[in-house]
Each structure stands twice: as structure tokens, then as C-alpha cells.
Amino acid sequence: MIRILEARGGATLQDAGRYGAMRYGITPAGPMDPLAHATANRALGNPFGATAIEVGLGGLSLAVEEAPLDIALAGGAFRIDCDGRPLPPAAALTLRPGMALRIRAGRAGAWCYLAVAGRIDVAPVLGSTATHTRSGFGGLDGRALGPGDGLALAEARAGLGEPTALVAPWLDRSPETIRVVLGPQDDYFAESEIAAFLTRDWTVSPKGDRMACFLDGTPLTHAKGHDIVSDGIAMGAIQVPGQGLPIVLMADRQPTGGYPKIATVIGADLGRLAQAQGGTRLRFRAVSVAEAVAARRAEAAALEPGIALEPVVRTEFSSEFLLGRNLIDGVVG
């Protein structure tokens, strides 16, 4: 059993997503950063799409009860500690009853995934455990995790022991450039506006959530109006509503909608964008479908062999850590 100790909103259970019923208005949900979600699961030998805990900027603290449990963490540069001992943002370890694991927002990144060795035992809805809070189903009673919640486990395993770091260099992603495929409604914009879309700086708004990433900047103008007959929406679709500021539709998007979509973020860069905190500046770069597929293939190939684990090497020293080691001249006497 996993016990949630602290949660300030934004932590949900997510598997790979609820597919097959978009035609009935069902939102897929699933992880905001599919690559980090898959990495955490892969580190434990789980299926890629196994149910994991997605933690947002609100953070989360938890403990295990009854029996030890192997867990793996991957995502943005969150501040993670186990009983006060700092861990790398991508790590695996055995969590024992009595230990408290804390996950807090750090200098970069917006989502952190916690996968478990075994299975988080919640009932699937339409074949998936992904939480969609707006529909009120999936995950734990269709809602975000809160303090006191218990998550039952099935086939839980433990054996990793002391913390190790995941060797997952693909998680070091800069959000500066986000690759897109133009369309499906790029013909609603003049060439000069498409050029402006690709050359302007955009700033990620802090108001984003699992449904969408909002961008601030100089508004774009439409050549053919902003009303289209509603059509399908893929994850990463960049719609431009009447006011001209792009909105990137993410995991909790509606499966259909009605604004022109100037471009679509490629699969390999969805997590890169999702991890951008409010205030991040970025640019879009247009690539071909073939390039987008190649990037996706490279990502799949990186995950394929499994994730190596290595002893924790400190590359970042927190001030608490330095003080503890008495390494700062003249500060600690």
C-alpha cells in the first residue's frame, strides 16, 4: 500500500492513456511527458504504459505501508528527497515502511513520474487507468490524489536497495526549440504569419494545465477567420483562437474542436514542451513528417535496451548538503 502524505493538487494516476473511444468524446488523458513516464516504467522492467503517479508543480509526499517497494522516478529537475536525503531527479530505490519520499518542484520541469515495481491496483475505465479529472473518471475515483489516500498494490516487488541514478540522458531536454509539423489548418494563415509563428519568441504562460499549454507573445492574425467546422484534435495541436495567441492542446484535450490548428508539436517534443515551466521562452521549428518519425524512432530505440542504473554521483550540491559536509569556507566554523 502507498499512502499519500501530502499533495497540493495536480498529482494523478496515469497509464499510457485511454484510447479507442475518442470517437465518443472520450479524452485520452495519459502522461503529459510520455517519454519520462515510459522511462520510469522501463527502469523497473514494467510495460511502457503501466500506471504511474504523475506529480505536478504542487509536489507530493508519500510512504509505503506493510512492505518495501521498488520505485523509479523520472521527469523534470524536481527536488526529491527520501527522509531528507537528496536524490537525483531520475532515480530508483527501495522505499521501506517508515521512510518518507518528498517530491517538490525544482529549477526546471513541470512533471515528475513515480513508477512502482508491481502494479497500482485501480480499476480501469474503458480499458485505461488514466485519470481525467474533468470527466471524473479513471485513476483514483476520477480525481487528483490527496493527503491520506491509499493506493493498493498488486505483485509488489523490492530488491533495488540503496538509491541509484537512472542513466537516461534523453531526459536532459532544453525547451528552447520545439519541433512542429505545419498543419492541419496552416492554410488559414498567410505565409508571413506562418513565418512569424516560426521566428517569434513565445513565452509559456503559468496558467497551463494538463489540458493545454498557453503561449504569450505577439498575436498572430488569421487570413480566413478563426472559425472552422470542428474536427479532430491530436495531442500537440497548436490552435490559434480569435485573439491570436497559440494554445498547445495536451493530454487532457477534447478529442475534437473548433479553432484553426497552425501546426502540431511532434511526438518526440511533447514532453520537452510539457516540462517547460511558466516563463520559459521558446521557438518553434518546422520539420517534415519524415524527420518527426525519425525522432520518434530514435526515442523508441533509446528506451528499447532498458535503463541502466548507476551509483548516485552528486553533480549538484544543495546548500543543505554543503552545510552538512562543512565544505563552505567560513560559513560553518
Partner 1 sequence: MAAPGPDTGGRPRFLDAGEAALVVEFGARVDPALNDRVLALDAALNAKPPRGLAETVPTYRSLMIHYDPLALSRDALVAAVEGRLAEGGAARAGGRRWTIPCCYDPAFAEDIAEVADLAGRDVAAVAALHAEAEYRVYMYGFAPGFAYLGGLPEALALPRRPSPRPPHPPGAVMIGGGLAAIGTFPMPTGWYVLARTPERLFAEGRDPAFLIESGDTLRFEPVDAGTFTALERRAAGGEIVARVAA
Q: Which residues bind partner 1 (CB under 8 A)?
A: 19-27, 125-126, 134-137, 180-185, 224-225, 227-237, 254-257, 261, 264-267, 289, 292-293, 296-297, 300
Taking the least distance from each CB to partner 1, the nearer of 90 and 266 is 266
Give least dist CB 89 to partner 1, A: 28
Taking the least distance from each CB to partner 1, the nearer of 208 and 267 is 267
Taking the least distance from each CB to partner 1, the nearer of 21 and 302 is 21
Give least dist CB 322 to partner 1, A: 45
**Residue 116 backbone dihedrals phi, psi, to 5 degrees:** -120, 145
Taking the least distance from each CB to partner 1, the nearer of 134 and 157 is 134
Give least dist CB 19 to partner 1, A: 6
Give least dist CB 301 to partner 1, A: 10
Q: How far is CA 262 from CA 176, 210, 220, 259, 283, in A?
A: 19, 20, 10, 9, 14
Is 55 in contact with 111 (CB distance < 8 Å)?
yes
Q: What is the Cα–Cα distance from 232 to 224, expressed in whole angstroms? A: 19
Taking the least distance from each CB to partner 1, the nearer of 257 and 278 is 257
Give least dist CB 261 to partner 1, A: 7
Taking the least distance from each CB to partner 1, the nearer of 51 and 185 is 185
Q: How far is CA 60 from CA 4, 55, 99, 156, in A?
A: 7, 7, 14, 21
Give least dist CB 248 to partner 1, A: 11
The number of C-alpha atoms within 13 Å of 104 and in the hemisphere containing its C-beta is 8
